[in-house]
Amino acid sequence: QAAEMTKLFENTFRSVNIALVNELSMLCERMGLDVWEIVSAAATKPFGFMPFLPGPGVGGHCIPVDPYFLSWKAKEFDFHTNFIYLAAQINENMPYYVVRRTISAIYGNGIDPKQATVLILGVAYKKDTNDWRYSPALKIIELLEKEGLNVLYHDPYVAEINIDNKVYKSSLLTEGILNRVACLLIVTDHTDLDYEWIVGNSKIVVDCRNATKDILDKFKNIIRI
């Protein structure tokens, strides 16, 4: 039992801290601040701080599930894990925030989102893997299509995905497709991608993972969230 609780605690620890930095990210947008700069500066403290990074949501078979299981189990003991449950909700709401920012970016470039195609870069929940279980990309694709946008994706590790019995296949990443789509949305920051070439051939890039941090000074079409 202690071993099981240890695993639940470890995953919940990450869930809570990811939720904290995700909420900070949304606040920084409101305040006109760069959350990536702030997290990086805080991480220079040599003790008492462990950096967690904002993102489009959580995925995998542990973090999206374990906090809810722990909250459910706690009720058997008349205990309500409000803090844990709230953190899980914040992470679950991040795809909605990403979609709002993406649509806003498309509008800002003078394009009607309902006439637009978005290319999702990366659908695996973690970079350099082929695991797309509970990936936030799935919810993002679903929400974008509900808003009337056309959605494609490219992932060098995931050949196809299935969302509500609809099959999506990974598109080739070519100069032509990058020029054609209204927006490139970086959801998973695979390391074997040439981000300078990708951004250079894209109209707008919405970066959820700070994948473009080394080329920000070269391009004006990047929006980091």
Positions marked catalytic: 62
CB 214 within 8 A of CB 193: no
CB within 8 Å of 193: residues ≥ 6 apart: 121, 156, 173, 211
Which DSSP helix (H) or strand (E) runs through 142?
A: helix 136-146
Distance from C-alpha of 63 to C-alpha of 17, rounded to nearest angstrom: 11
CB 137 within 8 A of CB 109: no
Residue type, position 15, single letter = S
Q: Left, alpha or beta for 145 (phi > 0: left; psi -120 to 50: alpha)?
A: alpha
